[in-house]
Amino acid sequence: MPGHLTPWYDEEAIADLRDIGMLVVDGPPKATGPAARYPAVPLLADRFAARCCIVVDDTARPDDRAVVSRWAEQLPDFEVRDLPLEKGAAVLHRA
């Protein structure tokens, strides 16, 4: 992704995705680099279905929590709810 220095998944592998109703974000791992999970929403947002749910794991980590905050700003029509799990989790939902 331009402007994002941390490696992400092969964008060719997601090229044909459309009408994404649920996105589970549990990678790339933190060791990949800063804000490793961030590209998921900028790269896929225009492919989200009208009703969409994004589930993010490990939000107890400050870096992943910051990524969710950035996504919330980019997706103003989504509600964000934190889940009290051991490593933290969040759900961003548009009904």
- List, for residues 39-94, the tens digit of each pLDDT value: 999 999 999 999 999 999 999 999 999 999 999 999 999 999 999 999 999 999 99
**Structural domain span for residue 89:** 18-94
In a domain, 4, yes or no: no
Kindly state whether residue 58 falls inside one of the protein's structural domains: yes
Give the pLDDT score at 2. 64
Query: Is residue 29, in this structure, part of any structural domain at all?
Result: yes
Give the pLDDT score at 33: 87
Domain assignment of residue 8, yes or no: no
Q: Please tell me the pTM assigned to this model.
A: 0.91
What's 27's domain CATH number?
3.40.50.150
The answer to whether residue 6 sits within a structural domain is no
d(C-alpha 49, C-alpha 61), whole Å: 28
The Cα 21–Cα 31 span in angstroms is: 28
Between CA 47 and CA 83 the distance in angstroms is 25
Q: What's the domain count of the chain?
A: 1
